[in-house]
């Protein structure tokens, strides 16, 4: 079994150097997310990777804290923040649920390209709901390999993952459908405000705590 922290530690340098595959889709996610954030907000990003999104959004809010399971990802993120002299951002290595517990009060929690990598996604979403104030935002983008509307592509990806995990070339990946993911978020105590389908079989969801 692939240890997630070690897997992402090994992948960190290559991940940091890789270009964004679909810049238009990435900028769309940034723009839509930024539209829900206020200059006074405190934001927590779970699974922040090497901090690229954090550094682009941090200037729109009062405080931005990113966490990731990989200490090497966090080291790279901190180096970027120091290089760019971004003072409103901080980073820490932590599992998602631990990061929520340690962050203190926040106005928005982001989980971009993360939930499908978590075997305990329901617990993490529930922890996010508990930590947010009424009206707080939970914003996610999630790969959905069980979504029928994607067609046969999803079957090929799903078939490859166990083989790649066996040789430590892939992390754990959970198969959500769009509807199943949305029910999971709603059942945790959120109302869905915005949903859209992106490339790479992903679902972008903005949810507000009831």
* pLDDT confidence of residue 1: 53
* pLDDT confidence of residue 91: 98
81, 89 Cβ separation under 8 angstroms = yes
pTM for this prediction: 0.93
- What structural domains does the chain harbor? 4-209 (3.40.50.150)
* pLDDT confidence of residue 81: 98
Q: Which residues of the chain have pLDDT under 50?
A: none
Digit-coded pLDDT (tens) for 102-131: 999 999 999 999 999 999 999 999 999 999
Long-range pairs for 78-81: beta carbons < 8 A, 24 or more residues apart: 78/51, 80/50, 80/51, 80/52, 80/55, 81/51, 81/54, 81/55
d(Cα 165, Cα 196) in Å, to the nearest integer? 29
79, 88 Cβ separation under 8 angstroms = no
């Amino acid at each position: 079994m692939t240890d997630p922290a070690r897997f992402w530690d090994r992948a960190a340098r290559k991940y940091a150097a890789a270009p964004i595959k679909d810049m238009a889709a990435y900028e769309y996610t940034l723009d839509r997310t930024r539209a829900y954030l206020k200059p006074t907000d405190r934001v927590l990003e779970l699974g922040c990777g090497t901090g690229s999104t954090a550094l682009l959004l941090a200037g729109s809010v009062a405080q931005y804290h990113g966490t990731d399971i990989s200490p090497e990802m966090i080291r790279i993120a901190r180096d970027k923040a120091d290089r760019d002299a971004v003072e409103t951002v901080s980073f820490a290595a932590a599992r998602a649920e631990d990061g929520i517990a340690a962050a203190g009060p926040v106005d928005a929690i982001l989980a971009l390209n993360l939930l499908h990598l978590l075997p305990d996604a329901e617990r993490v979403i529930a922890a996010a709901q508990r930590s947010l104030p009424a009206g707080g935002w939970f914003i996610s983008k999630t790969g959905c390999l069980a979504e029928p509307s994607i067609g046969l592509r999803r079957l090929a990806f799903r078939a490859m993952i166990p083989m790649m995990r066996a040789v430590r070339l892939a992390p754990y990946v959970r198969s959500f459908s769009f509807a199943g993911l949305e029910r999971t978020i709603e059942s945790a105590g959120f109302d869905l405000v915005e949903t859209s389908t992106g490339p790479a079989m992903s679902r972008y969801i903005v949810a507000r705590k009831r």
